[in-house]
Chain A
Amino acid sequence: MTDILQILILGLALGGVIALMGSGLSLVFGVMRIVNLAHPSLIICGAYVSYWAFKLWGLDPIATLPIAALIMAAIGVLLYRLMFESQAKSARYSEMTVLLTFALAMIVEGFLGAAFTNTQRVTSPEYATDAFFIGSLFIPKGQLYAGCVSLAIIGALTLFLNYSRLGYAIRATTQNREAAELLGVNVNLISMIAFAIGIGLAGAAGSLVSFVFSFFPAKQWEWIAMLMSVVVLGGMGSVLGTVVAALLLSVIAAFVGTWVGATWSTMTFFLALFVILLIRPQGLFGEKPELA
């Protein structure tokens, strides 16, 4: 029984982190209809920020999270202006943008690899290897902190989206971009802000990821499929959906990992993606399936 509880808690904690990782992806898709294949690579970027802050100056990764988030958000603005702003009126928009983000993912990976080599890295603050012992439960501190911080950030995001004027504009643009524009929303500016927030979220997730998982530039391809399955299951564009799906899949993966084998744990996500695309492409909370 305690075994099950333990796996459950671990699954939920990791699920929280994965939810944060996927939330930016979902948000950007909702507002701009862009599937950002470069998202995991940008998470890894954020991870490197916290990693080096820790390595060089001993700064705690959770403390440097806001800095990583801001740096990545600024990079997000830059990327939007350089690459995506001009695509808004293009004919094969969804195809073009996916390929662009794919190319961006390669650029980021190449850059990170060249700058920092392909060595596996992990940030190691004290709590990363420490744990809480409650009764016979063994709860790793690092994962727990990361999970809590993630859910807090997502909570703040949800409040922002639902109760601020900017959040209102973002939601309207997500639901019907043309309508929002015709009713006075500067959709270009909103897209830029949403994109920056999305990438900022990636940066924040990166800080947490830096001590929860080990990372290196090429790891992004493993994560892209994992994040995609979470976002697709939850419904593209729905942050709530991403959270639910992340928690659900992480818990399942945790059980699979313990009872079947570690490799199959990752497979859970990929298989889930396939199954979802087959039976309910719009996911739990999403809109009608994508038409080309």
Chain B
Amino acid sequence: MAVNLQQADASSVLEARRIHNQKLARQHDQTRATWFPLTVLGVLLALPLLQLTGNYNYLLHLVLFTASYAVMASGWNIIGGFAGYISLGHAVFFAIGGYFSGVLLARYGISSLLTAPLAGLAAAACGYIVGLITLKVRGPSFIISSIALLMIARILFDHWEFIGGANGLSLPVTDLPVQTAKLPYYYAFVLMAAFTVWATYRIKHSKFGLGLRALSKDEVKAESAGINTRFYKVLAFALSAFFVGMAGAVWGEYLTYLRPNIFLIILVSANLVLMCILGGKGTIAGPVVGAILIVAFNEIFVATLGASEINILATGFVMVLGLMFFPNGVIGTLARKGKLPRVLNWD
């Protein structure tokens, strides 16, 4: 009646266990194809030379636009992907950055290209303070608080006369010739994107990044392991605000006007989240891939569907499909199946 142990003795069971555990562990190729992102960067830096042959302003605009999104999405990734706190209110930091540099430009004529890091710091400071409050709660409550933050900011900005209130501020346009007018912003954003990707890579591979990953999985356990979770997540929040603010600063000048109903709308936040979801939350290449996808979708939708309301519909639709069928995004899903091309493994 009794079924005997399939192995003759205890040691073969222990051996079988060891083999079994080894099979469950994942193997990773630790080398990185660094030449790829560097090559891409090189190509992007050289791209404006095309201007010498013809009018590629629209192309430059697209790359610039994608780069700015890549900066913001990568920044958001620090709190949303690494730490696992989904913020739907990051448009606030976008606005803080934009207005900070914009006001300096309007009043003192200092270009945002110089003040962007400062704007980023201003946004980070706000992020730090806000984070101290809102990061006390987790999960859905945090998400809700981020939306409330956005609503509060919108009302405040709409009523603050010093920065133009609901009508906003007009910013001076540069007087560069058409051929080179976009170039300063182009380079600003491309370099910012490179910097942000590099910075998020370093963060992910630091003790700080490890701590964030731990607290994203189980905050209580991370805390009892000695990680100062409160400090870590508030810092992550502030860092994410920094990058988004910096991008906002230059974007404001590029756009030449600041208005609450452009900077402080839910669609801005939604796009950041969507980029990371489509690309792969928590990965380094994910936000960049997501940015490219979103800009591509945007272009397609605007070209075929036009009006802004259908744009929102389409964005929502893409998001639903992405969430339901590719919850780990392009990079994440490929990585899980072991099919991620080496050139895209930037982690």
Residues on A lying within 8 angstroms of B by beta carbon are: 35, 37, 83, 86, 90, 92, 94-96, 98-100, 102-111, 113-114, 117-118, 217, 221-222, 224-225, 228-229, 232, 263, 266-267, 270-271, 273-274, 277-278, 281, 289-292
The one of B138, B140, B151 that contacts A98, using a Cβ cutoff of 8 Å: B140
Instruction: Kindly report which residue of chain A lies nearest to residue B313, judged by CB atoms.
Output: A110
Nearest B-chain residue to A117, judged by Cβ: B309
Task: Point out residues on B near A: beta carbons under 8 Å.
Answer: 84-86, 88, 133-134, 136-141, 143-145, 147-148, 151-152, 155, 159, 219-220, 266-267, 270, 273, 277, 307-317, 319-320, 323-324, 327
In chain A, what residue has the closest Cβ to B317? A107
Out of B140, B273, B307, name the residue touching A94 (CB < 8 Å). Answer: B140
- C-alpha gap A123/B27 in the complex (Å): 63
Complex CA–CA separation, A111 to B155 (angstroms): 26
Chain A's closest residue to B85 (CB) is A292
Q: From known contacts A94-B140, A103-B320, A107-B317, infer whether A263 and B159 are also in contact, taking CB-CB under 8 Å.
A: yes
Q: How far is the CB of A229 from chain B (nearest CB, A)?
A: 7
Q: Which residues of B contact A292 (CB under 8 A)?
A: 84-85, 138-139, 219
18 contacts between A and B (CB under 8 A): A35-B144, A86-B324, A90-B327, A94-B140, A95-B86, A96-B327, A99-B273, A100-B320, A102-B270, A106-B270, A106-B316, A114-B310, A217-B309, A221-B266, A225-B148, A263-B159, A278-B136, A281-B141
- Closest Cβ of chain A to B324, distance in Å, is 7
Indicate if the CB atoms of A35 and B317 lie closer than 8 Å.
no
The main secondary structure of chain A at its interface with chain B is helix
A274 touches B316 (CB 8 A): no
Chain B residues with Cβ below 8 Å from A117 are 309
CB distance from A220 to the nearest CB of B (A): 9
> Cβ of A277: which chain B residues have Cβ within 8 Å of it?
133-134, 136-137, 141, 144-145
Q: Say yes or no: A104-B316 contact (C-beta < 8 A), given A114-B307, A266-B155.
A: yes
Total A-B residue pairs with C-beta atoms closer than 8 Å? 138
**Chain A residues, CB < 8 A from B145:** 273-274, 277
Within 8 Å CB of A232, what residues of B?
A: 141, 144
- On whether the beta carbons of A274 and B309 are closer than 8 Å, the reply is no
Inter-chain contacts of A273 with B (CB < 8 A): 144-145, 148
Give Cα distance in the complex from A270 to B153, angstroms: 10
In the assembled complex, which residues on chain A have CB atoms less than 8 Å from the CB atom of B152?
267, 270-271, 274
Separation of A269 and B148 alpha carbons in the complex (Å): 9
A-B pairs with lowest CB-CB distance, top 4: A110-B313, A106-B316, A113-B309, A103-B319
- List residues of chain B with CB within 8 A of the CB of A224: 147
Complex Cα distance A117/B308, Å? Answer: 10
Contacts A103-B323, A221-B151, A292-B219; A110 near B311 (Cβ below 8 A): yes
Report the bound CA distance from A105 to B311 in whole Å. 13
| Contact assessment for A290 and B319 in the assembled complex, using a CB-CB cutoff below 8 Å | no
Q: How far in angstroms is the closest Cβ of chain B from A66?
A: 29
Query: Inside 8 A of B313's CB, which chain A residues have their CB?
Result: 106-107, 109-111, 113-114
9 new A-B contacts, CB < 8 A, other than A99-B86, A107-B317, A113-B313, are: A102-B270, A228-B144, A263-B155, A267-B155, A270-B152, A271-B152, A277-B134, A281-B137, A292-B139
Q: State which of B84, B148, B220 has its C-beta within 8 Å of the C-beta of A270.
A: B148
Smallest CB-CB separation from B314: which chain A residue?
Answer: A110
- Of chain B, the residue at the smallest CB distance from A34 is B140
Alpha-carbon separation in the docked complex, A267 to B311 (Å): 29
